[in-house]
Amino acid sequence: MSVLDSILLLAVIAYAIAATAYYLALARRSMTPESLKVARFAMRAGALLHLLNIINGSVKTHTCPVTSVQFAVSLTGLVTVGIFLTLAGKVRIEPIGALVAPLGLVALISAQFMHKGNAPLQLPKLWLAIHITSNVVGVGLFVLSAGVGAAYLIQASRLKGKRADTMERNLPGLLPLETLMRRLLLIGFVPLSLGVTTGAAFANRLQFGSVDAMRIGLSYGVWLLAGSMIVVGPLAGWRGRRIAWGNIAGALVSLLVVVLYVITPTFIGVR
């Protein structure tokens, strides 16, 4: 087994342990710091090994990670995990780890099944790096914002039903969750906008009706949805629940775009 394969295997195991530990803590309604030690350690180990996998893979193939669609799929999961680890301890969103850990695992594994096509699009290297980096960061923030939105809906449901339990105490109140959700959406909208803008540069090279065109259409739809929630939402009086559901819908479509890249990848060369 090569070094790259060993790192990949260890990363998969670490993410699997993290996902299991977070799920068990969630199922037992025990999200105390002591009960999450294994989950936190495994998640950090998985993220580190994930990063090493990307670095080793890029060195082996002589490819810059931010100029490769294959690496971009893997990076999307890593960035989401990284943002979660940065925020989890500060804003008490540990339960979302049960969603984030599997996402990191799936992104890591999915990238391994992508194979190059025969006729890659040739695009400027700097432009491609900006495009991929922007989309990776934007999608990561959007997905995490959707996770916070799901936590908001759970809290709202429990409060409405007057069901106070351990899970409720392990999440922030509705107002902090809504504030965090909006902030993540607002911050993520900046790189999403940059990604959409740079992506328009090669739209004319794609055939109408192709999977590539579908991906671009879905990406624009996500961007318009995010922009509507940011600009129109406050004017229309959209509050927590609508923003939460909008975030979840947008994140699901964003992940669908990533899945389409895995199933029918478009590989882009640089010049």
What average pLDDT score do residues 124-145 get?
Answer: 85
The pLDDT score that the predictor gives to residue 269 is 47
Q: Exposed, middle or buried by CB within 10 Å (0-12, 13-18, 19+), for 109?
A: middle
Question: Quick one: how many helices (H) and strands (E) in the chain?
Answer: 10, 2
pLDDT value at 166 more than 50: no
Domain ranges of the chain: 3-270
Quickly state the pLDDT bin for 169 (edges 50, 70, 90).
low
Choose among 63, 52, 148: nearest CA to 99.
148
Which of 46-50, 126-130, 159-163, 220-224 bottoms out in mean pLDDT, i.e. has the lowest?
159-163
Q: Distances from the Cα of 261 to the Cαs of 39, 42, 131, in angstroms?
A: 30, 28, 15
CB-CB neighbours of 235 under 10 Å: 7
Report the sign of the C-alpha dihedral through residues 223, 228, 233, 239, in that order: negative
The pLDDT score that the predictor gives to residue 31 is 67
Q: Could you tell me what percent of the chain has a pLDDT over 70?
A: 81
Tokens of 236: 């229309």
33-77 confidence digits (pLDDT tens): 677 788 899 999 999 999 999 988 888 878 788 777 778 888 999
The pLDDT score that the predictor gives to residue 22 is 87
Report the sign of the C-alpha dihedral through residues 269, 123, 77, 219, in that order: negative
CA distance 19 to 53: 19
Q: Distances from the Cα of 209 to the Cαs of 32, 157, 198, 214, in angstroms?
A: 51, 41, 21, 7
The pLDDT score that the predictor gives to residue 122 is 57
- 269 φ/ψ angles, rounded to the nearest 5 degrees: -90, 165
Choose among 85, 52, 57: nearest CA to 71.
57
CA distance 87 to 80: 11
Provide CB contacts within 8 A for 185, sequence distance 6+.
141, 142, 145, 226, 229, 230, 243, 247
Coil/strand/helix, residue 121: strand
Instruction: Please state, rounded to an integer, the average pLDDT across all residues of the chain.
Output: 81
205-259 confidence digits (pLDDT tens): 555 556 767 777 888 888 898 888 888 888 777 888 889 999 999 999 988 888 8
Whether the Cβ atoms of residue 230 and residue 186 lie closer than 8 Å to each other: yes
The residue with greater pLDDT, 125 or 139, is: 139
CA distance 247 to 145: 7
What average pLDDT score do residues 95-111 get?
Answer: 88
Q: What is the pTM of this model?
A: 0.82
In the 8-state DSSP scheme, what is residue 228?
Answer: I
